[in-house]
Structure 1
C-alpha cells in the first residue's frame, strides 16, 4: 500500500512540475473572536490560477489572480468562465490543504475546515423532488454547516424557479453567508440582486470580463472588479447553431417586452455596467486569446458560407433537373477546439472540414466522425483544430460532395492540405448521388 501511495505521489509531482504547478503556502484561518485578528489578513490568494484540465505549458489557458478575503458575488456572460473559475478554485483549495501541488504560479491557501461546492442541480424523481427542491436541500446543508473557516462555492444560484422570488431567496442566502464570514463565491445571472437592499458588510462584487471589438462583446475569461450584466445570450445561441430566424424573433420579443422600461432593456454597451475599473471598448487592446477566438470564428463563417454555397447549389440543380422536392437548407455544425462530435453522428455519413491552426483546411468524409476527429487531433500541432461538418444520406453522396469541395474550395481562396485527393475521383460521373436523392 505504501508503495502504491509513493508511486501516486511521484506521478503527481512529476506531472505537476511538468505543468509548472506549485506547492502552496498553507496558513491557519482563525476565528476573529479567538485572536482578534480580522479575517482580511487571513484570506486566500492564488496567482496565475489556471483550469486544472488545461495544460498551461502548451498555452490556451487563461490565468487568473484570485485575492479572496471575503465573499465574492460573481456575474458574467454565458461562456464567460464563471463555472470554470469555481471549479478551478475548488480544486486548488482541495489539493492545497492535502499538501499537493496546485495549478497556479503562487498560492496562499488557508486550512479550511470544509470546502462546499454547489453546481447545477437535477431533479430526483425517486425522491419526488424537482431540481429547485434539490438545490434548496443542498443550500440548506451548506448554510447549516458553513463556518467562518469554510470555503463555499455556489454556481448559478436559484435558477430553477421564477425570477422575482428566486432573486430574493438568493439575496437572503448571500446575506447569511456574508454574516458567517466564510470565504467563497456565489455566481448568478439574477441581476435584480443588485437592486435589493442587501445587508452585507464584506461581500465584494466581481465579474468575468468582456471586450468590445468591432461592435461585438467577447468574453476575456479574466476575473475583474465590478458587475457585468451582459449575458451574451443571443450570441451564445447563435454560436451553438440555433437558427438565425429564431434568434431574430427572440430579439424582437425582447425589445417589445422591455423597451417600455429603460431600466430593464439590455443594450449591449450599456449592459456592461462595470462598477469599478470601467474602460471604454475602443481603447482596449484585445488579448491574444480573444484575437485567436476571432480568427477561428471568422474563418469558420467564411468556410461555412462557401461550403453551403457549393453543396447547396449542386443539390438544388439536381432537384430541379429531376423534379425532386428540394431538401431543407443545409447547415454546418461547428466542433470547437475542446469539443467532441455529438452522439447523433455515430454511424452516420457526413462530410467534414478540419480548420487547422495555420488556417489551412482538410476536407474529408466518414461514417465515424468521433474517430476521425480523434485521429486528426493526435497529430502534432492539431490538438486545437476545430471542425465543421454536415450530415448526408449515404457514403456515396459523402464521397462525391467531399470531392466537389476539394476541387472548388481553392477557387474561393482557401488553402487545402489534401488537394491531391480531389484528383482521384470524378465527381458527377456516377449516378449514385441521383439515385440516393431520389430515394430521399
Structure 2
C-alpha cells in the first residue's frame, strides 16, 4: 500500500504528506496538555486558587517568551546546517522535555521544563522552512496551506485527546503520551523526508547571527509581511481572555459556558483547517497578496460581527466566517515570505517571523483584558476588528505582488 502510494506521487508530494502527518502529531502533542495544566499544578501541591492561576499564566507565557527569544537563532542554524536537522531537534527535543514533565516533583521543576520546551522546540517555523526547501515555488501556497491545516487540525484534536487521556491515564501518563506523539513526528521526519537542497555555503549564508538579522531587517518587504503576521497574532489573541466571559453574558448562566466556548473554538479551528488548504491552492493561481488582503479584511468584518452579535447563534455564524478568513491568511502571508526570501535565508526569515508571532501571542491577551476592563467585553472584539482592518489597508499599501499568477494560469489552460 505504501509503495503503491509512493509510486503514484511525485517526490515533493510524498515528502509533503510525511511532513503534514508529522506536524499534526507534533501540534496535537503540544496542545494536548492545555486542558488540564491548572489541575496538574494543583496535583503538584499548589492549592491556593490565585496561585494556581498565577502559575498557569507563568507556565504558558514562559514557553512563548523563550521561543520568541531563541527562534531567530534556530533559523540561523537551519540556513547553515540544514532545515531537516531543525525539525529533528524540535520534535525529539520536545519529546524528551514533554516526557520529563511526567516526572516533576513540584511546580518549579515544571516551570524549568516549560522554559526548555520553548528553547528547544518550534516545529511550525521549522517545518515551514523545510517544506519550502523541497516544494516547487509554484506550489508554495498550497504546501504551506496544507501545513497550516495540520496545525489547525492538531490544535483542534490535541486538547480532546489530552482530556480523554487525562481521564484514563492520569496527568503524568498524558505527558508520556504527548512525548510519544512528538517522538513519532521525529521518526516520520527522519524516515519520510529527504531535504532536497544542501545548506548554502555562500558568504551571505555563513555570516554571523547579527549580520544575517541585519540583512533581513533591511528588507522592507519581508519586514512588512512579518509585522502583518505578528499584528494578526496580536488581534487573534486580544479576544482570548474575553470570549468565555462574553459567551457567559449572552447565555446568562455559567452552566454551559465551557461547552459553548469549546464549540466556538472548535468550529473556528475546523473551518480554518478546511480553508487553509483551499485558499493556499487558490493563492498559487490568483496570487498570494490579494488573498492576504482579502483574508485580513474578511477577518476584520467577522470580528466586528462578534462585537455586534445579539445572541449565541449569531456569534457561531460570525465565528465560522472568522475561521475561513483566518485559515486563508497565514498560508498566503507565509507564501509571500517564502517568495521574498532567498533560499539561503528562509530558515532565518521564518525564525524571525515565529519570534514576532510569539511576542504577539504574549501581548494580545494583556491588551484585550485591559481594553475589556475599561470599556466592556465587546470593546475587545472592536479592537481586534480595527487592528485587522488597519493591517489589511497597510498590506494593500506597502506589500507588492511577488507571484504573478496570470502566466501560470494561461500555461495551465493551454
Q: Given the two structures, how large is their TM-score scaled by the length of structure 2?
A: 0.28
Comparing both structures, which one devotes a greater share of its residues to strand?
1
Comparing both structures, which one devotes a greater share of its residues to helix?
2
Higher RCO (C-alpha 8 Å, min separation 6): 2
Q: Given the two structures, how large is their TM-score scaled by the length of structure 1?
A: 0.27
